[in-house]
Structures are given as structure tokens and as C-alpha cells.
Amino acid sequence: MISLSQVRASTNRIVVLGNHEGIIQSILDFDYLSGHKEGSIVGIVTGRHGFAKYFFGRREILIPTWAIIPNLPRVHNTNYWFFNNYSGRRTLSSTLGLLTSNNSPLKSPFVGGVIFAEGVPELHSLQIIAHNKTLIIGPASVGLIVPGMLKLGAIGGITPAQIDEGKLTEPGHVAVISGSGGMTNELIHVAIAAGHRLSFALSYGGDRFPILSPHDAFLLAESDPETRVVLYYGELGGEDEYELVQLQAEGKFTKKVVAHIAGTVASLFPESPQFGHAKAKADKAKTTALAKRAALKDAGFQVSNSFAEFIRLVNKLK
């Protein structure tokens, strides 16, 4: 799997599957505001050959549209990424097609990508996990951002004002990791309002089986020399947080974490309700928000009892 240091040290190019004008333009705006000489998107798979009009700064540009992805040129020190905007039903075939370009995983030019679709069948997600050795984020993800280098998705907003106000082109030392796309953007806002800048941020996705697990996202942060602190937003349901505790216990994760686990209101119901994300339901005592908060606290993580307290903890970071 590619490291964040490799992302920063390379040129990053993006292929988009399916046309989403707002997200595509936001990626180009990020590139322009980051001082890049050209946009990172090399083509859009739309089912037809032609061109699509976009803007790079004030200059109108044409991006090639393809019926299928052509053979991408191998360029020294260049990473190819994908942003998969297809529906959940088409996610499996389209993603495996990218991972096995030229009928061989070793020949695929892609180092990773983002799956935007929600509701990808769980069996399909598991099949992608079984075939994947790259940095794929999702399903149901708003994306990945490495400030000044790569914006892959709607993460951080889709207008130039949101990119500018979010300081998304200015690198820093605070990472944001969350399954919730909305809360990923909220945590970015909290960090920036407290005077911090991001080393990276990602939404691993709200479906039950994310391709990049929270466990692997934390290892990505651990291996990143620019990341000093991780802001983490979790929810009731699943046992991801116990894997994070185990990582720390084994000495595989050593960095500071400020965490908030949402969903304590579920304890007021006779039976835990299903919340907005597929995994957000506590089916046993250890998967409640209260139990996971306690486990993280016992392991030495900074854990808030309310989101207001979470903001106060971030404001205290140096």
C-alpha cells in the first residue's frame, strides 16, 4: 500500500468513473489553489469518447471523456488514482476492472482510489477487499485529502471558498479519520478553527465493510512522519475501536489520539436502534458507544463525553 510520504513526493493523477460535475470541479479548484500548473484529472469514463468542459482557475479546459479507460502511460514518479462515482451495483465490476488492468494486478497503474457509492452489497465489498492491495477508501466515502497534494472526492467541500476557508492547501500535523463523511468535514472544521492544519484526512466510509478499515487507517497515520495527532470520530456498533486498543497495546500505534464515539443515546432504548450508517447499531454490550468510550479511555486515548468536550480537547492541542 502506498504511503502518505510517497503521495507527497510524487505527481498524482486521477481517473474519474462517472461524471459528477461538482466534485470534479472541486478537485480542479483544489489543484489550482495549491499552485499546481495543471489539473490532476486526466480523464472521465462516461461511456463515450469526447471532451468535458471545466475550469482551471479562470481558464476553461477540456478533459477527455472515454468509453473505457485507455492504456495509461507509465510516467516516472507519477501515481494514478481513481474516483469511482458509479452506483453501488456497478462498484464491484468497475473496481475489480481497475485493480486487474491488463489482466494482471501487477500491471495495474492504480495505487488507490475512493468509492463514493453508498449501499454497495456487502458481498461485493468483501470481494474487493480480497483482491485489493492498494489504498482504496470506501464505499460510502467522501474521500481522501493530502493538503496541497491530492484531493480525491468531495472531502472538505466542493466550492473554492470551502477549500480556502478549510486551509486545505496548507499542510500540517493533524490527521482526521472518520467513517462518517459529514463528521469528517466537521472534524476538519474543528481542527482548522483551533488553529491547526491537516497532515491528511479521510472518511473510510459508512458501510459495514469498508475496504480500508479504521485499523489500517491508523497504521497509515502511524507510518506518516507528518502526522502527530489523530482526531477520530467513531460510532456505536462494530468492534473497530477494540482493534485500535490492540494496536496501541502491541506498540504498533504510538501517536496522540483525540476521539469521540457517538451514539450513547441508544442506551436509553430497550433495544438499540439502527442509526444512519450500516454499522451503527449495537448488537451486544461491548459495541455500545459507552463501552467503546471506556475501552479507549482505559487504553490511554483522550476520549470526550460530548462533542463540546471534544472541541475543547482539540483546542488544547499544541
Residue numbers annotated as active site: 277
DSSP structure string for 214-246: HHHHHHHHHT-TT--EEEEEEESSSSHHHHHHH
Q: How far apart are CA 214 and CA 239, in angstroms?
A: 10
Q: Beta strands 229-235 and 59-66: pairing type?
A: unpaired
Helix (H/G/I), strand (E/B), else coil: 110? strand
Q: How far apart are CA 241 and CA 230, in angstroms?
A: 14
Helices (H) and strands (E) in the chain, counts: 10, 14
Beta strands in 67-197 (DSSP E): 78-84, 110-115, 135-137, 143-146, 150-153, 174-178
CA 227 to chain centroid, in Å, comes to 15
Q: Is the dihedral of CA 64, 67, 73, 74 positive or negative?
A: positive
* Single-letter residue type at 225: P
